[in-house]
Amino acid sequence: MILLNLKTYEQTIKNPLFFADIAKEVVGETGVRIVVAPPAAYLKESAERYADIFAQHVDAFEPGAHTGSIPAEVLAQLHVKGSLINHSEKRIPKDAIKAAVERMHHVGLETVVCAENPEESAELSQFEPNFIAVEPPELIGSGVSVSTSKPEVITKTVQLIKKTNPKVRVLCGAGVSTKDDVQKALELGTDGVLLASAFVKAKNPKEFLQQLASVF
């Protein structure tokens, strides 16, 4: 799986559906699963346009008096498929992670829980998310891939999760920028990658995504 976090880059805000359209085209060409996570304001339009949309964040609350929150039920109503949880730019307490995963699964949606290191990855895998995405925060947006600069982070994460909860699949992120980064990540035992800036800021995002998908 390739998970594209569009964050709130200027390019994303100016043309939010452009990247979903690219993903749809590349999926049609390759059959590789590509998930797109647009900003919350564009979830409805994106989900109407492309089938595999995730939110960038979900709150652990049930529907109720929670101003400004995004409950899992809202995401289900918008027909998105899942959400990132605990991204390094949107960290939440562990009890909230657990509750958010439970709320998402209660309404039939997928979860990708982000962690900063192998130990945290293994701990959070006990909450039964569909995926753990390990992302050393110092490499996010750096252009230096964790799969090439810190391969031991990935191999240890995969090993610990296999021991702790082998049902959880592993993604890796932080600095993923080339097809070689993706190839290395898969060789180290992951099920895919999570990336953001390298895709959104690419001169030719479709060609870039085609190259990544070709590895699978």
> Is 57 tagged catalytic?
no
Q: State how far the Cα of 126 lies from the Cα of 122, in Å rounded to an integer.
A: 7
Which residues constitute the domain of residue 113?
2-214
Q: How far apart are alpha carbons 162 and 188 in whole angstroms?
A: 13
Domain count, the chain: 1
**Dist CA 149 CA 151 (whole Å):** 6
Adjacent-strand bridge partners of 112: 84, 131
Is residue 135 part of the annotated active site? The answer reads yes
Q: Which of 57, 87, 116, 120 is catalytic?
A: 87
User: In this predicted model, what pLDDT tens digit does every residue of 28-71 receive, in sequence order?
Assistant: 999 999 999 999 999 999 999 999 999 999 999 999 999 999 99
Which is the catalytic residue, given 57, 116, 120, 135? 135
Residue 35 DSSP SS3: strand
Asked whether the beta carbons of 215 and 183 are under 8 A apart, the reply is yes
pLDDT of res. 141: 59
Q: What digits encode the pLDDT tens for the residues 154-199?
A: 899 999 999 999 999 999 987 788 999 999 999 999 999 999 999 9
Tokens of 16: 């939010």
pLDDT of residue 24: 97
Average pLDDT for the chain: 93
* pLDDT 10s digits, 101-143: 999 999 999 999 999 999 999 999 999 999 999 988 765 655 6
CATH of the domain at 34: 3.20.20.70
pLDDT band at 77, cuts 50/70/90?
Answer: very high
Q: CA-CA distance, 47 to 79, in Å (whole number)?
A: 6
Residues in CB range of 189: below 8 A, 6 or more apart: 154, 155, 158, 170
Confidence check: pLDDT of 14 > 70: yes
Give the mean pLDDT of 84-89.
95
* d(C-alpha 152, C-alpha 146), whole Å: 9
Nearest to 157 by CA among 195, 124, 180: 124
Structure tokens at 97: 């992670």
